[in-house]
């Protein structure tokens, strides 16, 4: 990223830090975070360790005078998230979380339209669908192949490591923080058949706030093809964002006479998909369509919040609300478990 320099990398396993430094020509690598902070004195630390260590590392870095970018999930609980934000404010430092999918081109376009009032008011309802493929993802193979994998040791298991991407999208558009959460989770037949009954890989959640904005969140490893969609329904118009294909479809309130209502809208939708395809190609040709463009945008915005005093890309309120919803989900899953579902 232009204007920034990687001053050092740190990993408890020195070989891992060393290989990263070697591949990217980074001058210094460390295996002790304290030594790293003292000798490199970075302005920003990116914490990309397993979530169990996010809180302690983030605290240490903030107290050492660094701004921090923490990979998702931000922390293991709402309390930890709240405390980190308090420390950041006390130390006059900034922090953010790696919810990069919220900064992919399609998510930015959607935000622009919503902020411009396209929905015709506050969202009435939202649907966030997050698909996960056990068969293809290397990470999933690692989790299934190792019963002591760190993902399995998270309080919310596999779900905790992933769902903040989908929950964060909902949290952004909820009207207030007084949320009610109803969660049901279960193990798919696929996992049951391979005797992985301690992993919950199917989750359905209903969320609502005190302004009666509601949302459904679906996490599934079994829906095929794997979907990554976010739908926002407004009092006037609605929007459908497909993160997989980077398409944003407007669903305008428009009705036509008689059968024209069945003839014209499909063509209008087709035109929208065509435009989306053209826009994606244009972005690619403009060299603005990198697979990790969401992360690039998020990191760049976070750096600008420090150098130019621009607003933070993810408000603290959204980070806390995401953590609160996730706490509520895991509390219900751990309390009620699969039994409640089967009963």
Task: Identify each DSSP E strand in 246-294 by its residue range.
Answer: 247-251
- In order of 123, 141, 161, the CA distances from 170 in angstroms are 10, 29, 17
The nearer residue to another protein, 148 or 339, going by C-beta atoms, is: 148
| Farthest-apart Cα atoms in the chain, separation | 73
Distance, CA of 252 to CA of 113 (rounded, Å): 12
Interface residue with another protein, options 138, 255, 262, 309 (CB under 8 A): 138
The reply on whether position 16 binds another protein by CB under 8 A is yes
The nearer residue to another protein, 269 or 288, going by C-beta atoms, is: 288
Dihedral pair phi/psi, residue 183, rounded to 5°: -125, 140
The reply on whether position 190 binds another protein by CB under 8 A is no
Taking the CA atoms of 313, 173, 183 and 134 in sequence, report the sign of the dihedral they define.
Answer: negative
Question: What is the closest distance, in whole angstroms, from the C-beta atom of residue 147 to another protein in the complex?
Answer: 7
Task: Identify each DSSP E strand in the chain by its residue range.
Answer: 9-10, 29-30, 44-47, 67-70, 95-97, 125-131, 180-186, 202-208, 214-220, 228-233, 238-242, 247-251
Q: Which residue has the tokens 């959460």?
A: 181
The nearer residue to another protein, 118 or 150, going by C-beta atoms, is: 150
Give the contact letters, 192-231, x = binds to another protein (CB under 8 A), - = no. --xx------------------------------------
Which of 247, 202, 215, 205 has its CA nearest to residue 228?
247
The reply on whether position 15 binds another protein by CB under 8 A is yes
**Do the beta carbons of residue 313 and residue 18 sit within 8 Å?**
no
The reply on whether position 26 binds another protein by CB under 8 A is no
Distance, CA of 224 to CA of 246 (rounded, Å): 18
Give the contact letters, 145-164, x = binds to another protein (CB under 8 A), - = no. xxxx----------------
* Residue range at the interface with another protein (CB under 8 A); choices 11-19, 60-68, 151-159, 175-183: 11-19
The reply on whether position 271 binds another protein by CB under 8 A is no
The nearer residue to another protein, 195 or 335, going by C-beta atoms, is: 195
The nearer residue to another protein, 88 or 299, going by C-beta atoms, is: 299
Distance, CA of 263 to CA of 284 (rounded, Å): 33
The reply on whether position 114 binds another protein by CB under 8 A is no
Question: What is the closest distance, in whole angstroms, from the C-beta atom of residue 98 to another protein in the complex?
Answer: 16
Site size toward another protein, by CB under 8 A: 19
Interface residue with another protein, options 7, 57, 114, 144 (CB under 8 A): 144
Question: What is the closest distance, in whole angstroms, from the C-beta atom of residue 303 to another protein in the complex?
Answer: 17
The reply on whether position 5 binds another protein by CB under 8 A is no
Give first-to-last CA distance, the chain, whole Å: 53
The reply on whether position 281 binds another protein by CB under 8 A is no
The nearer residue to another protein, 122 or 144, going by C-beta atoms, is: 144
Distance, CA of 109 to CA of 106 (rounded, Å): 5
Distance, CA of 125 to CA of 207 (rounded, Å): 10
The nearer residue to another protein, 19 or 222, going by C-beta atoms, is: 19
* Residue range at the interface with another protein (CB under 8 A); choices 12-20, 170-178, 182-190, 304-312: 12-20
Distance, CA of 125 to CA of 234 (rounded, Å): 7
Where does this chain bind another protein (CB under 8 A)? Answer: 13, 15-16, 19-20, 23, 138, 142, 144-148, 194-195, 284, 287, 289-290
């Amino acid at each position: 990223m232009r204007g920034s320099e990687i001053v050092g990398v740190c990993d408890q396993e020195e070989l891992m830090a060393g290989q990263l430094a070697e591949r990217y020509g980074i001058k210094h690598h460390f295996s002790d975070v304290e030594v790293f902070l003292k000798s490199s004195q970075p302005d920003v630390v990116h914490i990309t360790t397993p979530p169990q260590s996010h809180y302690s590392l983030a605290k240490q870095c903030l107290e050492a005078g660094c701004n921090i970018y923490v990979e998702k999930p931000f922390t293991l609980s709402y309390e930890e998230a709240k405390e980190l934000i308090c420390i950041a404010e006390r130390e006059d430092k900034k922090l953010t979380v790696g919810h990069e999918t919220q900064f992919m081109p399609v998510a930015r376009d959607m935000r622009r339209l919503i902020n411009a009032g396209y929905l015709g008011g506050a969202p009435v309802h939202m649907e966030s669908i997050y698909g996960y493929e056990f068969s293809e993802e290397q990470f999933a193979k690692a989790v299934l192949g190792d019963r002591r994998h760190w993902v399995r040791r998270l309080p919310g298991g596999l779900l905790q490591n992933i769902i903040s991407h989908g929950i964060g999208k909902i949290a952004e558009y909820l009207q207030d923080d007084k949320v009610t959460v109803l969660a049901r989770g279960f193990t798919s037949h696929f996992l049951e058949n391979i005797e992985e009954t301690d992993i919950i890989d199917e989750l359905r959640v209903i969320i609502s706030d005190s302004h009666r904005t509601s949302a459904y969140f679906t996490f599934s490893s079994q829906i095929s093809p794997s979907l990554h969609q976010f739908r926002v329904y407004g009092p006037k118009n609605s929007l459908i964002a497909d993160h997989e294909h980077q398409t944003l479809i407007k669903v305008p309130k428009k009705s036509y006479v008689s059968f024209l209502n069945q003839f014209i809208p499909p063509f209008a939708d087709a035109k929208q998909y065509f435009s989306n395809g053209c826009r994606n190609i244009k972005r690619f040709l403009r060299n603005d369509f990198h697979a990790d463009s969401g992360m690039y945008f998020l990191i760049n915005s976070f750096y600008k919040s420090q150098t130019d005093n621009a607003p933070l890309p993810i408000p603290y309120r959204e980070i806390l609300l995401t953590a609160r919803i996730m706490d509520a989900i895991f509390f219900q899953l751990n309390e009620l478990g699969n039994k409640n579902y089967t009963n």
